[in-house]
Homo-oligomer: A and B are copies of this chain.
Amino acid sequence: MNYTQEEKEAFMREALREAERALKNDEIPIGCVIVKDGKIIGRGHNAREELERAVMHAEIMAIEAANAHENSWRLLDTTLFVTIEPCVMCSGAIGLARIPQVVYGAKNQKFGAAGSLYDILTDERLNHRVAVETGILEEECAKIMQDFFRNRRKKK
């Protein structure tokens, strides 16, 4: 779907609200929403520590919710909004769920797999390619992460 800049920012703000839920639990603050026909069909935030589940990144939680909502593993015609560039696991999961479009806020130079370390989403050898857009509410998405890590270093 082609969303306007204003719509994209509104969905990214919802992803940021999810990131804040992670922050409240003292988790790395990343949030995600999956949108179909202009409606959110799955939401997620990083909950690894809270749930003691290694795979429970924001994107995985949102994909699981959207799969349940659609009663289908295929998330055709959806757009995934996530505050930070997806890691290797989540980039693989986005392809496996057949999500055609990803919008992320800020890059993750250290672990990102949608352009930084790897470019999984556009790899022509894999059987699903994803349109990727970045930079939506970039500063806010980066800032909540920077603040989190700064506070964590202070506590130590």
User: Which residues of A are interface residues toward B (Cβ below 8 A)?
Assistant: 48-49, 51-57, 60, 63-64, 67-68, 71-75, 87-93, 95-98, 111, 113, 117-118, 120, 123, 125-126
- A52's contact among B71, B93, B98, by CB below 8 Å, is which? B71
Q: B55–A96 contact, CB under 8 A?
A: yes
User: Which B residues lie within 8 Å of A98 (CB)?
Assistant: 54
Q: How many copies of the polypeptide does the oligomer hold?
A: 2
In the complex, residue of chain B having the shortest beta-carbon distance to the beta carbon of A70: B52
Partner of A111, one of B51, B53, B72, B126: B126
In contact, B92 and A96 (Cβ under 8 angstroms): no
| A69 CB → nearest B CB, Å | 11
